[in-house]
Structure 1
Amino acid sequence: MTAFLRSRPLVGELLAEFAGTFILIMIGLGVVAQVVASGTGDFNSIALAWAFAVTLGVYTAGRISGAHLNPAVTLALAAFRDFPWRKVLPYMSVQVAAAFLAALVVRWNYSEAIAATDPGTTAATQTIFSTLPAEGLDVMGGFRDQVIGTAILVFLVFVLIDARNNPPLSNLAPLIIGFVVLAIGLAYGANAGYAINPARDFGPRLASWLTGYETAWVDGSGTPYWWVPIVAPLLGGLLGAALFELFVGRPLSAHPDFQEVGEVVSDPEPRRVAFHRNVAVSADGDAVARAGDRHDGNTEARTYGRSATNG
């Protein structure tokens, strides 16, 4: 098995991405089911548990896959951080698959509580599995909400993974990312449930539909809503990454503490590098190596994973 994975590193990355996303959704949906179907807890417990779920999911997969756990993050990293485009669809596919299977486990585990609370499997318990706009919020309001929330998420993820920006140590980064999700939930959770992750919403939505929720694809007024937590977070993630580049990334590149000192010659296409304190950073923003260490040509800042830019 080890030899197989060494010869096919993408397989190992996908397994880790599946595991991290599965943990994320198992805990996240589990707490919502506990609150909605069992009446134990409140919105604050939901926000806290989702934050811990993200932290634990990133700890699970970070070293191997980069722990994207979210198609919006994967797309933003491909567009702005040299994550290989050939890996985008496989990553997104396992994220959705893991979320789908985790939702089935939660549905099974809380089946008695759901049946007692909502025998007709209506929108009253649909929110266990997927997000819906609040009363009075139309589809475009939900779309706006998801773009904003995901833009905040990806902007701050990029803040944390850029080695030029004094990122947290690798063992603290997942915890800080959890705090980011907690802040978004507490500030932007009321309108549309802060999906901010297409896999988190679509996988469980599909699972709920297959297990009896006939209205899973629409909002309370019967308007198709399923596409909103897919498209809006993808656009929001790109927006957040672009805003990071505009307001933080480019200013960091121009900061006087960074001075070009030579080329990285081990890459097929040598890149200029800059040294700041003891971290070497390439001109396109990737962490290259600790000063004095040998450059391997593939190192990303240590938050969304060691393999975030590996080809």
Structure 2
Amino acid sequence: MRQHCAIKHGILKEFLAEFLGTFVLVLFGCGSVAQTVLSRNTLGEPLTVHIGFSVGLMMAAYVAGGVSGGHVNPAVSLAMVVLGKLKIWKFPFYVMAQFLGAFVGAAAVFGLYHDAFMDFTSGILSVTGINATGHIFASYPSRHLSILGGFIDQVMGTGMLVLCILAIIDGGNIGAPKGVEPLAIGLVIMAIGVSMGLNCGYPLNPARDLGPRLFTAVAGWGMEVFSTADHWWWIPVAGPMVGGLVAALIYYLLIELHHQRDEPEKPQEEELEEEEDEDEEDISLKDKYEMITMS
């Protein structure tokens, strides 16, 4: 199997890792929302949703981290490109894998709870109303939230996520022990969920939001998923990208730029040449001293 089926090309392995990692994130995250909504809060509550997304992201990072870095988020990938931690030509492949993984993850949640969806909605899938289920898969704003307020919410929330991720993986900072980084990142999502989830449910991830939204559009909810709330759909796509970019620049300018860098070690050949030069200088000084004493 390894000889005939193992993929040799690096970008394909990274593509599959990002796909599977994002799938895991959406399956656990949206699955926790589905269980809460479809059980009418008898088998879930806001805290269980926070746990679902936090553990989902942690497991996604464990699944994909050793192969692709476990970005599972275009905003994170963009930040890595800006900081030179990801080659720019890989960026489209990462984003495509993340969107596909999120789309398939949403399909898996719908398949898992299909009978519950039909029972809850009587077969009528809608975005608004008392039996609305569109928000299981994608974010929609609270009544009090304006478009500008939603954009700021996504910039700030994603900015904090990316900022903390950069600190966790920064070898020049305290960082996190090897293998514990996904756990720390999961705790960041938990913190964001309990502190910034009121406005629109902290999507913070264009792939995690748009991928499932596209699935709902073709699975029965229709184009209402894009027109609802003054065409809200683009906010959790554009906002996180801006937030990730801003956070990357802030962390670099305020923290990473000021790390003390060790002087690069000189090659052994250069060290030998310097020692030979020093020996020649010592010999020449000795000859001069002998000439002076003899005279």
Partners of 2:135 and 2:111 in 1: CA distance? 16
Q: Tell me how far 1:195 sits from its aligned partner.
A: 0.4
Question: Secondary structure of 2:226's match?
Answer: coil
The equivalent of 1:55 in structure 2 is 58
* 1:68-100 superposed Cα distances (whole Å, 9 cap, x missing partner): 000000011001133100100000001000100
Partners of 2:2 and 2:239 in 1: CA distance? 39
CA RMSD of aligned residues (A): 1.7
* 1:174-201 superposed Cα distances (whole Å, 9 cap, x missing partner): 0000000010111111101100000000
Partners of 1:64 and 1:264 in 2: CA distance? 32
The equivalent of 1:249 in structure 2 is 256
Kindly indicate whether residue 236 of structure 2 is the aligned counterpart of residue 232 of structure 1: no
* 1:124-143 superposed Cα distances (whole Å, 9 cap, x missing partner): 21110000011121222211
The equivalent of 1:261 in structure 2 is 263
Kindly indicate whether residue 191 of structure 2 is the aligned counterpart of residue 183 of structure 1: yes
Larger relative helix fraction: 2
TM-score (norm 1): 0.79
Larger relative strand fraction: 1
The equivalent of 1:217 in structure 2 is 226
Kindly indicate whether residue 164 of structure 2 is the aligned counterpart of residue 156 of structure 1: yes
Q: Tell me how far 1:263 sits from its aligned partner.
A: 6.0
Partners of 1:259 and 1:210 in 2: CA distance? 52
The equivalent of 2:121 in structure 1 is 118
The equivalent of 2:81 in structure 1 is 78
Q: Residue 157 of structure 1 aligns to which amino acid in structure 2?
A: I
Q: Which runs of 5+ in 2 are unaligned?
A: 268-295
Partners of 2:54 and 2:28 in 1: CA distance? 10
Q: Tell me how far 1:259 sits from its aligned partner.
A: 5.0
- Count of matched residue positions in the alignment of Structure 1 and Structure 2: 258
Q: Residue 240 of structure 2 aligns to which amino acid in structure 1?
A: P
Native 8 Å contact 1:133 1:219 kept in 2? no
* 1:109-167 superposed Cα distances (whole Å, 9 cap, x missing partner): 21222222223212221110000011121222211111110000000001011100021
Q: Tell me how far 1:6 sits from its aligned partner.
A: 6.0
Q: Which runs of 5+ in 1 are unaligned?
A: 266-311
Partners of 1:76 and 1:264 in 2: CA distance? 33
Partners of 2:171 and 2:209 in 1: CA distance? 31
Q: Residue 71 of structure 1 aligns to which amino acid in structure 2?
A: P
Partners of 1:8 and 1:111 in 2: CA distance? 37
Partners of 1:196 and 1:172 in 2: CA distance? 22
Partners of 2:78 and 2:155 in 1: CA distance? 14
Partners of 1:181 and 1:113 in 2: CA distance? 28
Question: Secondary structure of 1:261's match?
Answer: coil
Range 138-147 or range 47-56, more displaced: 138-147
Question: Secondary structure of 1:246's match?
Answer: helix
Q: Residue 263 of structure 2 aligns to which amino acid in structure 1?
A: V
Partners of 1:259 and 1:82 in 2: CA distance? 17
Kindly indicate whether residue 148 of structure 2 is the aligned counterpart of residue 140 of structure 1: yes
TM-score (norm 2): 0.83
The equivalent of 2:106 in structure 1 is 103
Q: Tell me how far 1:5 sits from its aligned partner.
A: 4.9
Choose 1 or 2 for highest CA Rg: 2
Q: Residue 154 of structure 2 aligns to which amino acid in structure 1?
A: Q
The equivalent of 2:272 in structure 1 is none
Native 8 Å contact 1:51 1:182 kept in 2? yes
Question: Secondary structure of 2:264's match?
Answer: strand
Map 1:169-180; keep pairs closer than 5 Å: 169-180=177-188
Kindly indicate whether residue 71 of structure 2 is the aligned counterpart of residue 68 of structure 1: yes
Question: Percent identity at matched positions?
Answer: 35
